[in-house]
Amino acid sequence: MTQNASLRYLALGDSYTIGEGVSKAQCWPFQLVTALLEHGWHVAETRILARTGWTTGELSTAIQQADLQPGYDLVSLGIGVNNQYRGLSSNMYRLEFAQLLQQAIFLAGGDPRRVFVISIPDWSVTPFATGRDRKKIAAEIALFNGINQQETAKQGAGYFDITAISRNAELETDLLTSDQLHPSGKVYAAWVKLLLPFALQILEQH
């Protein structure tokens, strides 16, 4: 595949994928597309299937209802914070996440190397968590991230732990949007810096 080829990218997720509280240009999928363009890769189609509040089950339903055609050059998946927030079962999360990852791989033409997973940010450090049991939240997020990392390894997709980056919001208030929960564009830029080498490698190999 040449750098001039037209590429298709599909981002699956929740509020962190659509960039709740930031402009479209600042959400991390579009920051990634911009970074790829700077390296000579033109992404002709960027499809974001994500919504604030979505759980694994709701994302799965949305995928089934959407007109998605397999053959995406890159597919990202980041989901689970709302399962944790709503107190849903970790066992159900494992099952539904594994199914979502299978769907993502199918949409990437059956190639797990074209798929990457983003870990769940740790919102326990944000002002939004004030008055809640921060240690419990952090422990549950760690549990869910352990699950999505294990399932990603089983299916051979890429995995990126952005949770540590998200914890910087505890000390730097400009790393959050006005809702004091979601990351700012500055944080998403740090995610993209981590993701870009992987995306470039995949595109150069295929």
How does pLDDT run across 155-198, given as a tens digit for each residue? Answer: 999 999 988 876 765 555 667 666 666 777 788 999 999 999 99
Burial of 22 (0-12, 13-18, 19+ CB in 10 A): buried
CB neighbourhood size of 122 (10 A) = 23
The pLDDT tens digits for 36-84 are 999 999 999 999 999 999 999 999 999 999 989 999 999 999 999 999 9
The CATH number of residue 135's host domain is: 3.40.50.1110
- Rounded to whole angstroms, the Cα distance separating 177 from 174 reads 7
| Residues spanned by the domain of 13 | 7-205
* pTM of the entire predicted model: 0.92
Question: Where does the pLDDT of residue 1 fall: very low under 50, low under 70, confident under 90, or very high at 90 and above?
Answer: very low
pLDDT given for residue 130 in this prediction: 84
Domain assignment of residue 123, yes or no: yes
* Structural domain includes residue 163: yes
* 148 found inside a domain: yes
Mean pLDDT of the chain: 91
Q: Is residue 111 part of a domain?
A: yes
User: Is 27 within a domain?
Assistant: yes
Query: Does residue 83 form part of some domain?
Result: yes
Our CA dihedral for 157, 189, 90, 149, rounded to 10 degrees, sits at 30
As a whole-number percent, the residues of the chain with pLDDT over 70 amount to 90
Cα pseudo-dihedral 188, 60, 137, 121, rounded to 10: -10
DSSP classification of residue 158: E
Mean pLDDT of 116-134: 89
Number of domains in the chain: 1
Give the pLDDT band (50/70/90) at residue 128. Answer: confident
pLDDT of residue 2 exceeding 60, the answer is no
Tell me whether residue 144 is in a domain.
Answer: yes
Regarding predicted confidence, which is higher, 21 or 168?
Answer: 21
Helix (H) or strand (E) holding 50: strand 43-50
Between 206 and 31, the more confident residue is 31
- Is 135's pLDDT higher than 80? yes
Average pLDDT over residues 132-153: 96
CA–CA separation, 184 and 21 (whole Å): 8
Flag whether 1 is in a domain. Answer: no
> For residues 154 and 149, what is the distance between their CA atoms, to the nearest angstrom?
9
